[in-house]
A and B are shown apart, each in its own frame.
Chain A
Amino acid sequence: MQRETILQADKIGKYFYDPVKFKVLNEISFNVFRGEFVTLVGKSGSGKSTLLYILSTMDTDYEGSLHIHGEKVTGQKQNYLAAMRNEKIGFVFQFHYLLPEFSCLKNVMIPALRLGKYSRKEIEERAYQKLAMLGLQDQALKQSSKLSGGQQQRVAIARALINDPLIIMGDEPTGNLDSKNTQNVFDTFKQLAHEFNQTIVAVTHDNDFAANSDRTIEMQDGAIISMDKQF
């Protein structure tokens, strides 16, 4: 079966300049296919987070080239990248980064309101759906700061899903969660990848989490040492 390439990294290299010039990433090349649940693992300082932020288009200071969904994003203007992130990429971080003044529902709606593809009413319905999918329909109208940590993280995932992004990027998405919530998030990711054909790229320290993903890329000292690590 010919699989669609969603993300294509080609010889990506990056330097840190502070305190001394130091090469963090060394000619990283790999592809991620549609519907794949990929995890990036490696020790601290291996460059996996740095790579993720380059893949996310937020970090534009790198060598090599990056294609997302067939479009070259390397060298594009900030506004173009912002619009692309809004439409095609969802983010889940270790910390939820919800806007505490807003209700959960509003937090989930914000990226969709920015995109403006649907009317406000449709966006609200879709936000409810996403929250329901994560078992949070009862919390929708609560202020986001009133929820527990696990619930907040699930709201953040719902927010990442609202625009039906092609790729969901996670930086330690389960880093702050207990095992029950971790399992929850993992199942959700798996479901998104296999049922909704969305692509997941997540950095993790959790070996169980990585072991159960479709593919694990292991990094060490700024280079990929294994494209399909087995546990």
Chain B
Amino acid sequence: MKYKHNINSEISITYIVTKKKLTLVAALGVTIGIAIYIFMNSLMAGFDRKSNETVFKNSPHIRVYKDDETSLPLLHTDSNKLAVIINPKVVPESDKIVNPDQIVNMLRQQKDVTIVTPQVAVSVFYNNGRSQITGNASGVRIDEADKMFDIRSLMVEGKMEDLKTTPNGILLGVGVADKMSVKPGDNISITSSKNVTKVMKVVGLFQTNNSNIDKTKSYINIAAAQQLLIEGPSYVSDINIDVINFDKAPDYSQKFSSLTGYKAEDWKAANETLVAASTMRRVIITAVSLSILLVAGFGIYNILNMTISQKINEIAILKAMGFRGKDVVRIFVQQGLIIGFMGVLIGLMVASLLVYRMSKFYVGGDIGYFPIRFEPLIYLRGAAFGMIITLLAGYIPAKKAADVDPVSIFRK
């Protein structure tokens, strides 16, 4: 063969051009399928991101702490002595991490670890006159904690940096401040579980948009927290760790656990309900959006099937004139792919429009604007799925056309 004329494409394009209406209808099916697929998956990605953001405003990727230990119910001794059976109970040991500086330094040297910061968690009462609310004060090194939880972005009143210059300063959640009716500059007294009461100066208010946290949480200097627990400057209750990819946190927690000898808990284990909800959402949305794509595929399948039934005589003559089975497959698969490609292209545009419109939709409450944005990966996946389904929907009828026996057509 000296010249390669692309007669197969010529035929399939002619079939498309002469059947504009049918082509458009089939393409529209793909458009809707792709648009809904991308839109729903973007929606899901947005939800997941929002939910993760909320989690990471308050918890680190991995938390290292001393777990409660339960006493052994049976003390083993020599076989000729009596065994002692004891009621199992939590061993009353302190939740102190021994030699925290060394552990912090060791963790900092680990691969993929971005931030390591010690924390002293204190259960407290916030007192103002007769009103008293329970809550948690986190004793932190505020600079490091800011890197981890981005506290600065949560500040609504006062300045986060003032905590560094005020040893007895406190950053209050807006919910707490509201109930105690205090504002930056006021004093409040807090009482710890060890019955130590300290007067603290409110230096700022923060808002996480999670009302549970806003109503209970406060940040204080780590030294103040140690004093509240009557502990020395080496006392640390938790070590918070952030890693590069939070999705992989469970992979590290095991390793850190054996490395430090303390319990390392990743955020997924700490927030099982959230993770389960996200998985459920993923299953539902994937099932629904893929079925819609599948329906679009049936549209193309139908149209090609119809075209092939109408053109069965032409297929027979093409085969008689020397077109091979794979030429016939190419003609119709190409037709399907062109329809699919047009559908995908318009679908991407429609999806962008939907996502853009939705991102301007104000929900209010803790959410604010609808948590949706352009996700290039989802666009790519949507387009790829669209083309794969089109390919399949085109191939099945095309194969049927290729297997047409021309003799049986001519002899009719």
Q: Is B truly associated with A? A: yes
Residues of A contacting B322 in the complex (Cβ-Cβ under 8 angstroms): 82-87, 111, 114-115
Q: With contacts A56-B320, A91-B320, A97-B316 known, is A171 near B7, CB below 8 A?
A: no
CB distance B2 to A116 under 8 Å?
A: yes
| Other-chain contact of A97, B317, B327, B411 (Cβ < 8 Å) | B317
Question: Which of the residues B4, B11, B313, B321 comes within 8 Å of A111, measured between beta carbons?
Answer: B321
Interface centre among B4, B10, B327, B407 (most CB of A within 10 A): B407
Q: Does B314 belong to the interface (CB within 8 Å)?
A: yes
Which residues of chain B are near A115, meaning CB under 8 Å? 1, 322
A120 and B5 in contact (CB under 8 A), knowing A53-B407, A97-B313, A101-B14?
A: yes
Nearest-neighbour CB distance to chain B for A93, whole angstroms, equals 6
Considering the complex, which residues of chain A in the window 155-199 have a beta carbon less than 8 Å from any beta carbon of chain B? 159, 171
Contact with B along A66-93 (1 / 0, CB 8 A): 0000000000001100111111000101
Report which residue of B5, B10, B321, B407 has the largest number of chain A beta carbons within 10 angstroms of its beta carbon: B321
Residue of B with least CB distance to A49 = B411
Query: Contact size class for B?
Result: 20 to 34
Chain A min CB distance to B16 (Å): 10
Contact digits for A89-123, partner B, Cβ 8 Å, 1 yes 0 no: 00101010101011000000011011111111001
Q: Look across to chain B and name the residue whose beta carbon is closest to the beta carbon of A162.
A: B321
Give B320-336 as 1s and 0s: 1 = Cβ < 8 Å from A's Cβ atoms. 11111101000000000
Given A53-B407, A101-B15, is A91 in contact with B321 using a C-beta cutoff of 8 Å? yes
Complex contacts, B411 vs chain A, CB 8 Å: 49, 53
Partner of A119, one of B3, B316, B317, B320: B3
A50 to B18, CA, bound (A): 35
Judged by a CB distance under 8 angstroms, whether B158 is at the interface is no
Query: Beyond the given A119-B3, A171-B410, could you list 9 further A-B residue pairs with CB under 8 A, ordered by the A residue number?
Result: A58-B407, A85-B322, A91-B320, A93-B317, A99-B14, A101-B15, A113-B10, A114-B5, A117-B3
Which A residues fall within an 8 A CB radius of B? 49, 53, 56, 58-59, 78-79, 82-87, 91, 93, 95, 97, 99, 101-102, 110-111, 113-120, 123, 159, 171
Q: Hey, which bits of chain B sit against chain A, CB under 8 A?
A: 1-5, 7, 10-11, 14-15, 18, 313-314, 316-325, 327, 405-407, 410-411
